[in-house]
Chain A
């Protein structure tokens, strides 16, 4: 490593940021070497995004100094940051869905004001695409692109603006494992071309696998900045959470003598003439967790839709306690003890514009405990929500707080609090920890085990192998709509499951 490379791309010196009564960042100091990939880890609410938004000029620091290329800077807005070569990809993409890729990229920095010469921009963008190895159709509409492709567009936007420092806020949270690999390769490539990449994440494995240095944050402060090599997942997790992680509780063995609660026999689902699920059969007993592993898009979506009783157009039998599921009304199932954690939290599990209280009673809003004579019993509802927030450690503990103002982990906890408020017979959970920080994952997993031990049947659909291996009693792997393989937890290895996930046989 020569001198030019080891120079700091930017540096924070005692930066503090206060929102009202909350100190989001206090006395944050660290520096990032030019031409490296630098990880910033911490739980949700640790202040990682805030400090980076300060660097991007979106927030103004209340104290401290920021140095870019060794010179102190004061940004009035993101505009100033952009002109100094700093770019940021936000967790929620900032793209206009109805416009095309090239239009989104040039927006705000159009080459000619009165004649947006398509061809000029296209040539320039094609050059950038070639140089950095991007593959995305410049004429495609954003709304037609996958999430991974949209992320490419966001990075393309930064490169078009000649960004030298690229900040990515939780870039892998929304991606499938394959897309993550592509992204990581791309970022390494950018680093090799001399760019500085700041990677905000709470996925430790990613941080360990490809960053040079990592800054660990907790409660708005920097715990430590150190080289990544030599760190292990557990040492990093401990520094991040500030304590040793609890091991999952020892669980009761599955009582194989009990008859299955959920029984699926030759389930077939077709969509647009394509078989999405073919001849899927499995049983779930009380007190058992069935893990459904597989690469996203191999029939998990359809299976979950059937189990949530949303999709009713299928062949085969799905029986809950011996009764066909689709003959039941969904509210009857809820009363019988069906709990659901849908894969897309924001679309299927909560109403983001509602507050916590409203989301908490959603689906049970007609029940006697909340309603009398056609009106809500506010004091009762308030009390129920408050105690649920306490039990599930949701922050803030404010029933009137808007759902959209919660972190992913806290949103998911509200969903769990609602679903677990009544006795659970069957829990269908899909991607329950997607976009959720370590502390919350630990919490959610412990709750699942607790429900299992209380006798609930659980179907856990997840693309995270680690999660499947930790929680399941039995594991099924879906590949192209078929069960490619199944085994008991004790016989499962990552290699074996990985083979099944890609269509291999044993």
Chain B
């Protein structure tokens, strides 16, 4: 059971980062379906930089830079050139799935993966003094790489920034009333570029975590739809930071459950693994379709007068 919780945390972390990144961009009024692509370039850059420098923290920085640049590509198309944000998002995702194996081939001679990192090159676990002493629970929940703790804290920090700072107020205004923001003397375009920088950085951490903490290398398309699940969590959380955190944990839980159930059988009949693997996605569908009621996206999303 505790193992399941720990696994939930590990699987929820990339979702949390991606969803928080998406939250910044979407609350600023631009649909952002390119979280997947941002995570992917972040993951590749982090794995590669860590491999060459032997330092996972430099890897994180490289991931941040790649994430911001990828998100800014979306900004260039959807904010600056006012292209349709969905089309732009698809373009960025396709770009990321293409550029990562290409760069990988240039750097390492193959498209499939980066060389795997040794254990001491990956992000090491940071035990929390005191709490990790708790029998059973301690080692599982309070002896984790710091990105996991950071992931749990991020939504609260995001909530503060969004609801309690001038920057956050302007993001909300850019999302729900860009014209009002403009007449108040602030350029919505500028606000969106800044929101995208923060969003890209956060979403990249999701990819970075996958590549140098969860796994020990970048593998092609390793995000495997997590960017979309994060987007679902964001909608499920009605674009609010803390509810979105819980949505991410919820999906993380189903993912963990799915892994546990893979080897199980019902009454001697072993369930095909593909069915079990569908679990998180089915959960997402059911929830979005039935349980959360109407989710109102930020008003400027999908409007062409952004």
> Which one, A77, A95, A109, contacts B180 given CB within 8 A?
A95
A114 vs B166: C-alpha distance when bound (angstroms): 6
Q: Judge if B78 is at the interface, Cβ distance under 8 Å.
A: no
For B177, give the chain A residue with the smallest CB separation.
A96
Residue picked from B168, B181, B184, most chain A C-beta under 10 Å: B184
- Contact between B180 and A96, CB atoms less than 8 A apart: yes
Q: Is the interface of B mostly helix, strand, loop or mixed?
A: helix
Q: Judge if A107 is at the interface, Cβ distance under 8 Å.
A: yes
- Contact between A107 and B165, CB atoms less than 8 A apart: no
- Contact between B183 and A78, CB atoms less than 8 A apart: yes
> Which one, A90, A112, A113, contacts B183 given CB within 8 A?
A90
In the complex, chain B residues whose CB is within 8 Å of the CB of A79? 185
> Which 7 interchain pairs have the tightest Cβ spacing?
A108-B184, A96-B177, A110-B166, A94-B183, A94-B180, A79-B185, A98-B176
Residue picked from A98, A106, A112, most chain B C-beta under 10 Å: A98
A112 vs B164: C-alpha distance when bound (angstroms): 10
Say yes or no: A96-B164 contact (C-beta < 8 A), given A103-B169, A107-B169, A108-B181: no
- Contact between B181 and A107, CB atoms less than 8 A apart: yes
- Contact between A107 and B164, CB atoms less than 8 A apart: no
Say yes or no: A107-B170 contact (C-beta < 8 A), given A90-B183, A96-B181, A98-B176: yes
- Contact between A110 and B169, CB atoms less than 8 A apart: yes
A97 vs B186: C-alpha distance when bound (angstroms): 17
Q: Shortest CB–CB separation between residue B297 and chain A, in angstroms? A: 11
Q: Judge if B179 is at the interface, Cβ distance under 8 Å.
A: yes
- Contact between A97 and B183, CB atoms less than 8 A apart: no
A307 vs B165: C-alpha distance when bound (angstroms): 50
Q: Judge if A328 is at the interface, Cβ distance under 8 Å.
A: no
- Contact between B165 and A108, CB atoms less than 8 A apart: no
Flag B184-200 by CB within 8 Å of A: 1 or 0 each. Answer: 11100000000000000
- Contact between B177 and A97, CB atoms less than 8 A apart: yes
Q: Shortest CB–CB separation between residue A43 and chain B, in angstroms? A: 25
Residue picked from B185, B186, B299, most chain A C-beta under 10 Å: B185
In the complex, chain A residues whose CB is within 8 Å of the CB of B107? none
Q: Judge if B167 is at the interface, Cβ distance under 8 Å.
A: yes
Flag B232-276 by CB within 8 Å of A: 1 or 0 each. Answer: 000000000000000000000000000000000000000000000
Q: Judge if A468 is at the interface, Cβ distance under 8 Å.
A: no
Which chain A residues in 133-177 approach chain B with CB under 8 Å? Answer: 157
Q: Shortest CB–CB separation between residue B296 and chain A, in angstroms? A: 9
In the complex, chain A residues whose CB is within 8 Å of the CB of B176? 96-99
Q: Judge if B12 is at the interface, Cβ distance under 8 Å.
A: no
- Beyond the given pairs A97-B176, A114-B165, A115-B165, 4 more chain A to chain B contacts, judged by CB atoms under 8 angstroms and listed by A's residue number, are A99-B177, A103-B172, A107-B169, A107-B184
Q: Judge if A82 is at the interface, Cβ distance under 8 Å.
A: yes
- Contact between B185 and A78, CB atoms less than 8 A apart: yes
Which chain A residues in 68-99 approach chain B with CB under 8 Å? Answer: 77-79, 82, 90, 94-99
A113 vs B167: C-alpha distance when bound (angstroms): 7
Q: Judge if B18 is at the interface, Cβ distance under 8 Å.
A: no
> Which one, A82, A90, A94, A116, contacts B164 given CB within 8 A?
A116
Q: Judge if B173 is at the interface, Cβ distance under 8 Å.
A: yes
Q: Can you report 29 residue pairs joining A to B where beta carbons are below 8 Å apart?
A: A77-B185, A78-B183, A78-B185, A94-B177, A94-B184, A95-B177, A96-B172, A96-B176, A96-B180, A97-B177, A99-B169, A99-B172, A99-B177, A103-B169, A106-B169, A107-B170, A107-B173, A107-B180, A107-B186, A108-B181, A108-B184, A109-B184, A113-B165, A114-B166, A115-B165, A116-B164, A116-B165, A116-B168, A116-B169
Q: Judge if A215 is at the interface, Cβ distance under 8 Å.
A: no
Q: Judge if A104 is at the interface, Cβ distance under 8 Å.
A: yes
For A118, give the chain B residue with the smallest CB separation.
B164
In the complex, chain A residues whose CB is within 8 Å of the CB of B183? 78, 90, 94
- Contact between A108 and B164, CB atoms less than 8 A apart: no
A31 vs B291: C-alpha distance when bound (angstroms): 62
A107 vs B299: C-alpha distance when bound (angstroms): 17
A408 vs B233: C-alpha distance when bound (angstroms): 44
In the complex, chain A residues whose CB is within 8 Å of the CB of B165? 113-116
In the complex, chain A residues whose CB is within 8 Å of the CB of B177? 94-99
In the complex, chain A residues whose CB is within 8 Å of the CB of B164? 115-116
> Which one, A98, A104, A106, A116, contacts B299 given CB within 8 A?
A98
A78 vs B185: C-alpha distance when bound (angstroms): 7
A157 vs B181: C-alpha distance when bound (angstroms): 12
- Contact between B166 and A96, CB atoms less than 8 A apart: no
In the complex, chain A residues whose CB is within 8 Å of the CB of B172? 96, 98-99, 103
In the complex, chain B residues whose CB is within 8 Å of the CB of A96? 172-173, 176-177, 180-181
A109 vs B181: C-alpha distance when bound (angstroms): 11
Q: Shortest CB–CB separation between residue A355 and chain B, in angstroms? A: 16
A97 vs B185: C-alpha distance when bound (angstroms): 18
> Which one, A77, A78, A99, A109, contacts B173 given CB within 8 A?
A99
A78 vs B184: C-alpha distance when bound (angstroms): 8
In the complex, chain B residues whose CB is within 8 Å of the CB of A108? 170, 181, 184-186
In the complex, chain B residues whose CB is within 8 Å of the CB of A103? 169, 172
Q: Shortest CB–CB separation between residue A151 and chain B, in angstroms? A: 14
Residue picked from A95, A107, A110, A115, most chain B C-beta under 10 Å: A107
